């Protein structure tokens, strides 16, 4: 949790802010993962690319923390924010969008990306039961 306490409005607005903040974090994570992968495939060092992004207009908390600690080195600690929690928050954000008649394509794409590890894990176990 952050150090700041903010009054968000009427009952429920704090939860809305939390869910939508997390939606932005997850979309940012997808964008950073793609940028690092594309940069590496093009011959650039992923750490150097992330360093440039973080000093430029694409810089973010996600890049300064998750990007440096996990994405570039390719180490993903098990005791971090679980993907299933991310999918839960993202599903709530998508319900809010749907209720407002908004097609949140970026959030939907982030959800697809977050589901991939579960699909891969299930695919590994097909025929092993």
d(CA 50, CA 32): 8
Among the listed residues 32, 36, 27, the one whose alpha carbon sits nearest the alpha carbon of residue 93: 27
d(CA 4, CA 105): 30
Residue 5 lies in a domain: no
| pLDDT score of 74 more than 60 | yes
Q: How many domains does the chain have?
A: 1
Residue 2 lies in a domain: no
d(CA 91, CA 24): 13
Residue 77 lies in a domain: yes
pTM: 0.84
Residue 65 lies in a domain: yes
Residue 101 lies in a domain: yes
Of the candidate ranges 22-26, 57-61, 72-76, 88-92, the one whose mean pLDDT is the lowest? 72-76
Residue 117's pLDDT is 80
- At 64, which CATH number? 1.10.1040.10
Residue 38 lies in a domain: yes
Residue 7 lies in a domain: no
Domain boundaries, position 116: 18-123
Residue 25 lies in a domain: yes
Q: Would you state the structure tokens that stand for residue 123, as one six-digit string?
A: 């695919």
């Amino acid at each position: 949790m952050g150090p700041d306490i903010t009054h968000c409005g009427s009952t429920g607005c704090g939860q809305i802010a939390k869910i939508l903040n997390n939606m932005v974090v997850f979309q940012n994570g997808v964008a950073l993962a793609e940028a690092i992968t594309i940069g590496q495939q093009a011959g650039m060092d992923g750490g150097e690319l992330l360093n440039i992004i973080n000093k430029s207009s694409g810089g973010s908390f996600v890049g300064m923390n998750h990007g440096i600690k996990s994405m570039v080195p390719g180490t993903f600690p098990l005791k971090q924010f679980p993907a299933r929690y991310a999918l839960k928050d993202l599903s709530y954000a998508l319900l809010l969008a749907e209720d407002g008649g908004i097609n949140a394509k970026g959030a939907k794409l982030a959800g697809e990306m977050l589901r991939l590890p579960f699909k891969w894990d299930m695919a590994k176990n097909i025929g092993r039961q």
